Amino acid sequence: MPKVLEFKLPDLGEGLTEAEIVRWLVAVGDVVAVDQPVVEVETAKAMVEVPCPYGGVVTARFGEEGAELPVGAPLLTVAVGPPQAAEAAGDRAVESRVREAAAGPSEHSEGSGNVLVGYGTGAATARRRGRIRPAVPFAAPAPVGAAGPAPVAAPAAAVASAPAGAPGPVPVISPLVRRLAREHGLDLRALQGTGPDGLILRADVESAMKAPAAPAPAPALTTGSAASGRAASTAVGERIALRGIRGAVADKLSRSRTEIPDATCWVDADATELMAARAAMNAAGGPKVSVLALLARICTAALARFPELNSTVDLAAREIVRLPEVHLGFAAQTERGLVVPVVRDAHTRSVDSLGAELARLTEASRTGTLTPGELTGGTFTLNNYGVFGVDGSTPIINHPEAAMLGVGRIIPKPWVYEGELAVRQVVQLSLTFDHRVCDGGTAGGFLRHVADCVEHPAVLLRSL
């Protein structure tokens, strides 16, 4: 019989520990080729198509669409091996399907050479991870003309055992489901699972969470108390799980406010000349120059003068680490939530190069095709919240960076220009910085240089 190999959810990089199944790209009984994408998952950072390192016939899938799986959990099992093995076993259906697979691991090659972060399919990786054992017995696909595809096999021995004295085992596969129930004080033994063989799914736990709570008993009167006892009332509201991008943002912002002693300074700047310079550049032909690209170039020029703000703090070593490259993050609002794509080596780019990369990353943000690598590794963040029609804000630093520049909307305002009152295009600039890496003088100097470049774009010529 063909050998059955188990493919587990790989480490998708940057410390991610779980992912949500968005869409299965294959069904049980399908033939897959080496490196063929088999499932689309959503992490806290991006949507990723996961390729399978084995070629053969899919015999089982683990997890429904919408379910969250931890890294290392089984994704699917694949029957692989030489067709002769299937022929010797008399299984013609499997033989033909295995023959259709583009490639199967041999004695010298356990899979493809293409890998995602954290998992490899070569022999060296196989030696590191040990022998892979199938989680379920091989089940041949349904023959042609059958009522439907073979049912998805549930993993044996994937059920959590109940505590001693409990009426029986608790049918739960996912540790995330167990953790969710534990955090909300739910007894899994009291829930009825809707999955195969009574398996308790995340949806079952969330339904139990939304169920009205039993009324709390009235507290006993305290001796000598003049107040009358009243039954405590618990407000029941909608519960929204902090998961995916929203959960990742919550964790990062909480960590930022917990670890970083931040301070904010701000200044109003006359952006009339900057807007005029942009209009002149666009009138000259070539790619259109965005305001964001100009601000990004101004940021890199200011960071060259004040490198303290392009740094991070190593708490374990009690050291400030000044970084040689500027990887500029910029905040982008999408239907999936706030993301911060990163422009690599922004300090080496011209305005046109910055504009092209900003446009590419913005489009990838909207379509949900950003990779984890394009969402990590930033050293400084530019946040243009003026697109939301607001003037100012106090940005929260994108941990573990040391600073963030916030830019409000650019609008006509009364302004004293050359000794006279005039209507000018004014913008508010806000800098939030880590007070451990510098003092107010450095932060103020950085912000003032940014404002000077906004008011007099020719100042940038000194930095070119």
The pLDDT tens digits for 377-409 are: 999 999 999 989 999 998 899 999 999 999 999
pLDDT at 235: 60
Q: What is the pTM of this model?
A: 0.57
CA distance 453 to 102: 58
69 vs 359, higher pLDDT? 359
Active site residues: 435
pLDDT greater than 80 at residue 463 = no
Residue by residue, DSSP assigns 257-300 as HHH--EEEEEEEEE-HHHHHHHHHHHHT-SSPPPHHHHHHHHHH
Average pLDDT for the chain: 77
pLDDT at 13: 62
Question: Which residue in 438, 335, 328, 345 sits closest to 384, CA to CA?
Answer: 328
CA distance 435 to 448: 17
Q: Other C-beta atoms within 10 Å of 457: how many?
A: 21
Instruction: Taking residues 53-70, report their average pLDDT.
Output: 89
Helix (H, G, I), strand (E, B) or coil at 417: strand
CA distance 302 to 294: 12
Question: Phi and psi of 213, rounded to 5°?
Answer: -75, 150
362 vs 231, higher pLDDT? 362
Q: Other C-beta atoms within 10 Å of 447: how many?
A: 24
CA distance 279 to 289: 9
Tell me the residue ranges of DSSP E strands in 71-208.
74-80
CA distance 254 to 398: 10
CA distance 371 to 102: 27
CA distance 307 to 300: 10
CA distance 172 to 166: 15
pLDDT greater than 70 at residue 226 = no
Bridge-based pairing of strands 328-330 and 380-384 is parallel
pLDDT greater than 60 at residue 165 = no
334 in Cβ contact with 367 (< 8 Å): no
Amino acid sitting at position 322: R
Ordered alpha helix ranges (H), 20-122: 83-89, 92-100
Amino acid sitting at position 347: H
pLDDT greater than 60 at residue 31 = yes
144 vs 431, higher pLDDT? 431
For domain 3-129, give the CATH number. 2.40.50.100
Structural tokens at position 183: 């955090």
List CB contacts of 355: < 8 A, sequence separation 6 or more: 287, 288, 289, 290, 292, 293
Structural tokens at position 368: 């949900």
Q: Which CATH architecture has domain 245-463?
A: 2-Layer Sandwich (3.30)
- In DSSP terms, 27 is beta-bridged to none
pLDDT at 10: 85
Domain ranges for the chain: 3-129, 159-210, 245-463
CA distance 347 to 340: 18
38 in Cβ contact with 50 (< 8 Å): yes
What one-character DSSP code corresponds to residue 150?
Answer: P
Instruction: Taking residues 186-211, report their average pLDDT.
Output: 79
Mutual angle of helices 291-305 and 440-455, in 10-degree steps: 140
Bridge-based pairing of strands 420-434 and 411-417 is antiparallel
Is residue 108 very low, low, confident or very high in pLDDT (cuts 50, 70, 90)? very low
Q: Which CATH architecture has domain 159-210?
A: Irregular (4.10)
Per-residue burial over 366-403, b = 16 or more CB atoms within 10 Å of its CB, e = otherwise: eeeebebebbbebbbbbbbbbeeeebbbebbbbbbbbb
pLDDT greater than 50 at residue 300 = yes
pLDDT greater than 90 at residue 301 = yes
pLDDT greater than 70 at residue 160 = no
Question: Which residue in 49, 48, 77 sits closest to 61, CA to CA?
Answer: 77
Tell whether the torsion through CA atoms of 449, 406, 444 and 327 is positive or negative. Answer: negative
